[in-house]
Structure 1
């Protein structure tokens, strides 16, 4: 037993050293899937409860109370609440003005709250950049600042008063932009979209001018369940907003982004399986003669399968470790739940469930993709394995009649696909998944929905965050698809070098041979593109909410043609290199 295990290890190490390029491609393909899974699990951890994390970090209240009255009447209405039964802590009341803010040439609605630099028992906004409020300065909620396009040091105008932006901060006492609830009148129950701004409490009266000020009182209850009964409830002229309602509003920022990354991880996993199957198929086809030699010296099917599967399982374990590290390092930049919320970063090592899930995925991809071709190689007859013969095309009278009337390039392409039909199907799957992801991204770009805030409109942070997640997935998908296309083309060129040499000996030109290889890749890619466009649109429609806008037909057509042109270009380069090789050398070469 020990001798067999040692033999398997030696053969595995030797094969990995001989095929370093293929091993690296396999490692990249499986790593992409495991890194995406690690990011997905990190995203669940960071975004599962973004509001709750922000609330804990900023001492968020259980309930925010706002009276319908303004000025001294509002303060009188709020005074008894601070000592009401069940209330254990409070902060405020803080003055609030519903004012207009002008920045970057846009005038929008802003909820302006007066604060000072003394620490509060409840609602201590966490400064994410710059400093806290001071006279002459304004602190803006980060999501609102991003939509406005302002940075620290810029000047904004609030109701005709210029203020310098001194910082950005997040809070759990009010929903982030665009849900800060602006009111045309201080006591009006009707709310509109707005962003949140903090200023020094000594200045808010001057900023508001003739507009009456409202007030907000933050409360914490001894019984946590008591606060959940307040959900935008009005009683005795006072409006109560529970943290549950604020959390629901904030969660809309990341809900679609989470779905986009979840669906993207499924697509990446499917593409990784196709990629590994493609590479494994090429390796096994290239190793058929080696399989025959092993069988000739007495190795049985179990030994053959063990030798090959050991390689892929080792690569899978290495890819699991690489993917975990890559996902962990990328998590801080990619799992931020949004500028207005505090999310967990990748500072802590991956959890045990993440390590186990990534390892299981990597091994499953390697084993599932390798199992069928490895078993097929292990059960191949020794003489056939030594001959390394491809699947002979079935000859039919009508096929022969039709082939006589085909252009040479088309005939070569069809014959190559007929010899290796499984490879052609993998090309179609690769193209379908990639095109579907690109079509979904075009759907996301076409939305471009904006939020109306009074006189101007700003970008919708929910769509922006979703588009960022989709772009991340598409970039990784395209890289993996590129690897698939290169591997598939090169494997096809190596596998067809003898038939192509025979075709050239019979009169085919290098240009016809190159075109034939391109046709061999384009024939299965065309149905993949044709199915991928509607699949991507349907995928976007499945996970999207609200009004849907469709991209122009020219975008989809350009995507389809660009995908096919990219495949043709990737095929032409290695095919042209192989076509330049002398025919005699190709015919004399022996399969590896």
Structure 2
């Protein structure tokens, strides 16, 4: 047993050293899918940390109560809550007005909260620049200030009252911009807006004839018990605020998780193509191992061990790449304190990414490896391909085809599985590119009542989409190169025979290019509606479709790219002397 294990290890290390290019391509293909899945899974875990840090630094409340009533009726409603069972401390009630703030020519909804100069025990906003509130000025929530371009010392206008900006601050008692909870007094319809603090003595003047609302912060003996509270328009728990802040990363997470499955499909097709090329190159070695006494189980173990090792290495590389890229991609909101630090991934993330990498490695290699292991010694040494199924109508049709097209059809008939891999690779690539095209052409209206500002949620989604686009294009390019390399390697003898029978080098080269292009056409045709369906199935709200000319240009661009990637190596392979190729064929 130990001798067989030693033999497997020695053959494994020998293959990894001798076939470094293929090993690197395998590693890159599986790592891309693993890293994208790790990014998507890490997004929620990492995005929650800045809010927890902010909550600790600002003594954030466990429950925030804002009654729908206004004025004295609201104060009467809040009075009994401060002594309710389980409540250990409170701050407020603080007066609140829902007004409009104008800065640098831009007007937006602003939740104006009146506060005291002296600090309180619960909800102490952390000043990040300037000073805390005092009469005659405002302190703006930092993310809201960044969106409007407000700096300390600027002057803003709140419903006709010019006020100086004393500073910026962050809090855990309300969701960060743009989810501060602006609404008309007494209404349950919440709109986007930002948070602004003013001195309590100024808020009545700013509100004018508008009745004041009030908000009360509660601290519970058991913070986790806040989940038993009914969350609604009058009451918000700290968990709900965390969920609102998490909306900023929802588009990015959806893009990465959906992208991880697309990349997994591309990786599966790419790995299968690479394995096919390796099996072709190792077929004679399989025959030699069988000739000296190795059984099918030994042959399968030798091959599978190599791909399992590569899969485990890709899982580790994907986890590292995904986890250390996540902080750069996420970029915590300016409305929160702290940073998104890369920490060891959670166990469930490690298991999921490792399982994905091994599944890709095994699924793409199991069938060709088992087929190679079950191949007879004579057949393996002869390196015979799958003979095409001959039918009368096929023979008649082949007589009508041009020589180059006939060569391409015959190459695909000899290796039908490789042709199907080209179709799968093109299908997934087209689906992904059409989906990305639809996302990028979508017009997003994001206003705060009177003006359009940058949407932080959309900005994070765009960064994730850009990263996904780059990875998809790189992996699709790798797959196309690998497919071409495998086809050139396998078609050397058939092309030499065709040239010996009268085909010119140009016809042979074009025939090999046609062999790659023919199975790509159905992949492109099906990929166009598949990409549209994918976006429609995961989108919330109205779906916007790109112009038909853009879809047509995408389809033609993919086919032209495949033709260009195939043409040069195909023509180079076709110009090799026929005698050299036939002499190098296995006896």
The reply on whether 1:568 has 2:569 as its aligned counterpart is no
Contact 1:181–1:193, Cα closer than 8 Å, also in 2? yes
CA 1:164–1:51: 2 relative to 1, 3 Å? closer
SS in 2 for 1:36: helix
The reply on whether 1:588 has 2:572 as its aligned counterpart is no
Contact 1:316–1:363, Cα closer than 8 Å, also in 2? yes
SS in 1 for 2:447: strand
SS in 2 for 1:295: helix
Contact 1:441–1:467, Cα closer than 8 Å, also in 2? no
Distance 2:443 2:46 in 1: 26
Q: Once the 2 structures are TM-superposed, how far is the Cα of residue 280 of structure 1 from its aligned partner?
A: 0.7
Name 2:180's counterpart in structure 1: 180
Moved more, 310-319 or 132-141: 132-141
Distance 2:187 2:337 in 1: 29
Name 1:63's counterpart in structure 2: 63
In the TM superposition, 1:446-465 aligns within 5 A as: 446-465=441-460
SS in 2 for 1:458: coil
Uncovered stretches (5+) of structure 1, i.e. residues with no partner: 234-238
Moved more, 74-83 or 426-435: 74-83
For residue 551 of structure 2, the aligned residue among 541, 550, 556 is 556
Name 1:236's counterpart in structure 2: none
Distance 1:392 1:343 in 2: 65
Name 2:395's counterpart in structure 1: 400
Name 1:261's counterpart in structure 2: 256
Name 2:468's counterpart in structure 1: 473
Name 1:150's counterpart in structure 2: 149
Q: Once the 2 structures are TM-superposed, how far is the Cα of residue 489 of structure 1 from its aligned partner?
A: 0.8
SS in 2 for 1:111: strand
Q: Once the 2 structures are TM-superposed, how far is the Cα of residue 537 of structure 1 from its aligned partner?
A: 1.9
Q: Render the CA deviation track for 1:511-562: whole Å, top value 9, x for unaligned.
A: 4333322221221111112222222222222222222222222222222222
SS in 1 for 2:452: strand
CA 1:413–1:165: 2 relative to 1, 3 Å? farther
Q: Render the CA deviation track for 1:492-517: whole Å, top value 9, x for unaligned.
A: 11111222233344444444333322
In the TM superposition, 1:425-574 aligns within 5 A as: 425-574=420-569
Q: Render the CA deviation track for 1:451-485: whole Å, top value 9, x for unaligned.
A: 33222233544444444434433332222222111
Name 2:275's counterpart in structure 1: 280
Name 2:315's counterpart in structure 1: 320
In the TM superposition, 1:283-298 aligns within 5 A as: 283-298=278-293
Q: Render the CA deviation track for 1:50-106: whole Å, top value 9, x for unaligned.
A: 8677645643323334466778x5896588457533332222344444332334643
Distance 1:375 1:404 in 2: 37
Name 2:41's counterpart in structure 1: 41
Uncovered stretches (5+) of structure 2, i.e. residues with no partner: none
SS in 2 for 1:451: coil
SS in 2 for 1:561: helix
In the TM superposition, 1:98-247 aligns within 5 A as: 98-103=98-103, 105-115=105-115, 119-125=119-125, 130=129, 133=132, 138-142=139-143, 144=144, 148=147, 150=149, 155=154, 157-159=156-158, 161=162, 163=164, 167=168, 169=170, 171-184=171-184, 187-189=185-187, 191-199=189-197, 201=199, 204-205=202-203, 208=206, 210=208, 214-222=213-221, 225=225, 228-232=228-232, 239-243=234-238, 246-247=241-242
Contact 2:95–2:113, Cα closer than 8 Å, also in 1? yes
Contact 1:254–1:337, Cα closer than 8 Å, also in 2? no
Distance 1:371 1:556 in 2: 36
Q: Render the CA deviation track for 1:230-288: whole Å, top value 9, x for unaligned.
A: 5346xxxxx54444654554454444543333222222222222221111111001211
SS in 1 for 2:217: strand
Distance 2:199 2:169 in 1: 17
Contact 2:274–2:482, Cα closer than 8 Å, also in 1? yes
In the TM superposition, 1:10-25 aligns within 5 A as: 10-25=10-25
Q: Once the 2 structures are TM-superposed, how far is the Cα of residue 383 of structure 1 from its aligned partner?
A: 1.8
Distance 1:371 1:69 in 2: 67
Name 1:92's counterpart in structure 2: 92
Distance 1:457 1:243 in 2: 29
The CA RMSD measured in Å over matched residues stands at 3.5
Distance 1:374 1:240 in 2: 61
Moved more, 335-344 or 272-281: 335-344
Distance 2:313 2:168 in 1: 44
CA 1:290–1:259: 2 relative to 1, 3 Å? same
Moved more, 346-355 or 76-85: 76-85
Distance 1:216 1:569 in 2: 65
Q: TM-score, normalised by structure 1?
A: 0.86
Name 1:348's counterpart in structure 2: 343
Contact 1:30–1:365, Cα closer than 8 Å, also in 2? yes
CA 1:227–1:379: 2 relative to 1, 3 Å? closer
CA 1:285–1:79: 2 relative to 1, 3 Å? closer
SS in 1 for 2:446: strand
Name 1:423's counterpart in structure 2: 418
Contact 2:495–2:508, Cα closer than 8 Å, also in 1? yes
